[in-house]
Amino acid sequence: MSIFSMPTTTISKFPIHSILDSHNTRVPSYQFEIDFIGTGVDAFVGQISKKHGYRFKDRDQKGLNKLVGLYVCEGSPQGLVSEIPAWAWQRDHYFNQGIDISSPLEMTVWNGEQRLYYDDEAGLSSMTDFVDEDRYGTDAADLMTKTPYLYARDTYRLHASYSVTTDKPFNPDLISLHCKDVLGCRFITRFDYDGQTFEPELLDWPYADPNDRIVQILFK
C-alpha cells in the first residue's frame, strides 16, 4: 500500500435539507401566568333527615350559624375550615371549593414581569365569555324538594394562578372554563387553555370570616 493512500470514508446519504429541517421545526415555547384574584368559596350541600329538617328550618341566620363551627385544619391554606355536623355527612352530600366567577374578579396575565392582559371588570358578564356552556353541573337549587338538605357556604379572598406553557402567544379566546353552579356561585371546575388542562396554584387563601358564612336548610 502506498504511503499516500488514505483510508476509505463512508459519506452518509442523509439529505442535507433534512438536517436543516430538523433545526427549523423547533416549536417556540411561550410561558405565562394567568392570575385570578377574587372571591373564594367553600360550599357544602348534604342531605339530612326530615327530623333535622323540621327541627332547624325555621331558625334565623344566627341560630343556623351555630350548627356549623370552625376548626383548625392542619395543612389547609386557610387554617380554619367549617365543621359540618356529623348528621349532615351521613347521607348524600358534596363539597365544592374554589374561586367563584359570579363575584367580581380580576384576571391578569404575565409573561415574566410584563403584563400581557388585565381585566378588573370581571363580573359574571365578562367571565361568561370564557365559559364552556356545555360544561355545567347540576345547580344545588334543584335539590330543594321534599328531602331536606343542609347548605353551608364560607367566603374569603382568593388568589390563584395557572402556569401555562404553549406554542402560541397569549390569546384570551383560547381560555375555556368548565363550571358548576351552586346556589348563585359559579365554580371553576376545569381550566383549559388551547385544549390543554392546567391546575391552579393557590397563592393567597386567608381565613374564612365566620361572620360571612351563610347556612340554610333547603326544605320545601
What pLDDT does 20 receive? Answer: 41
What pLDDT does 161 receive? Answer: 95
What pLDDT does 174 receive? Answer: 94
How far is residue 28 CA from its own chain's centroid? 27
CB 111 within 8 A of CB 196: no
Cα separation, 144 vs 58, whole angstroms: 15
What pLDDT does 109 receive? Answer: 95
Cell of 211: 361572620
CB 38 within 8 A of CB 124: no
**Closest Cα to residue 104, out of 36, 171, 12?**
36
What are the average pLDDT values for consecutive 10-residue runs of the chain, which has 220 residues? 38 40 60 92 90 92 86 62 84 86 90 90 72 60 73 89 94 91 87 94 76 86
Cell of 162: 395557572
